[in-house]
């Protein structure tokens, strides 16, 4: 599998350096890869709102979902089990950017996502027990588990993120869909010039 994230950054780099009259203007591939990530996120959000079914519900294209296996750890100060979220992801309505959390070997037995204030609002009530289901809530870069007996705590979690391509543990090969690559290249070049606030020469003859 080719690393299309890097290829897109390289193509944008050639367009920018070939179309700028200032020979001293240098842009690194690493800088443009950050722009690729951000433009990819914008593309996902646009696709999410365009992708409505007959009932008006929005769906996430499976092409945009990236999976991570994380060890479950224990927070001694808070006496809670948690797992790290190892990549940034796209913020979608109803928390769908963090697509699912489950045990690694039982991935369709997903945990119930909870609001961060759920435990405070339901303290001492039957609702807090989730009718026996397993739950989780998010605090920054951690997923805290709720309503699991100690014996039921899995060693590892399968965490699925929408647009999660910024992890240090991510495989080197990141494959972005073919039909979106040209659009993302254009967005990356546009973002670069917007951030630099310099005029764009769309030709290669250095004539504006």
* Phi (first) and psi of residue 145, to 5 degrees: -90, 150
Q: How confident is the model at residue 152 (pLDDT cuts 50, 70, 90)?
A: confident
Residue extents of the structural domains in the chain: 4-57+168-196, 66-162
* pLDDT attached to residue 21: 43
The pLDDT > 90 percentage for the chain reads 48
Whole-angstrom distance, CA of residue 133 vs CA of residue 112: 7
The model carries a pTM of: 0.81
Closest CA to 64 of 177, 157, 141, 150: 177
Per-residue pLDDT, averaged over 2-27, amounts to 77
Query: What is the reported pLDDT for 28?
Result: 87
pLDDT recorded at residue 163: 92
């Amino acid at each position: 599998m080719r690393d299309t994230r890097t290829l897109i950054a390289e193509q944008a780099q050639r367009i920018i350096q070939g179309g700028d009259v200032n020979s001293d203007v240098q842009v690194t591939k690493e800088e443009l890869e950050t722009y690729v990530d951000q433009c990819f996120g914008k593309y996902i959000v646009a696709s999410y709102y365009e992708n409505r079914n007959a009932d008006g519900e929005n769906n996430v294209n499976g092409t945009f979902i990236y999976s991570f296996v994380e060890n479950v750890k224990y927070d001694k100060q808070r006496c809670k089990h948690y797992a790290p979220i190892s990549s940034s992801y796209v913020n979608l309505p109803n928390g769908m950017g963090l697509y699912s959390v489950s045990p690694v070997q039982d991935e369709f037995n997903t945990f119930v996502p909870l609001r961060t204030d759920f435990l405070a609002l339901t303290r001492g009530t039957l609702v807090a027990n989730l009718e026996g289901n397993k739950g989780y809530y998010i605090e920054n870069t951690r997923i805290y588990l709720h309503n699991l007996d100690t014996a039921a705590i899995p060693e590892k979690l399968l965490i699925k993120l929408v647009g999660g391509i910024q992890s240090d543990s991510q495989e080197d090969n990141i494959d972005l869909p073919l039909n979106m690559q040209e659009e993302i290249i254009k967005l990356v070049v546009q973002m670069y010039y917007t951030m630099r606030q310099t005029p764009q020469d769309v030709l290669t003859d250095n004539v504006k």
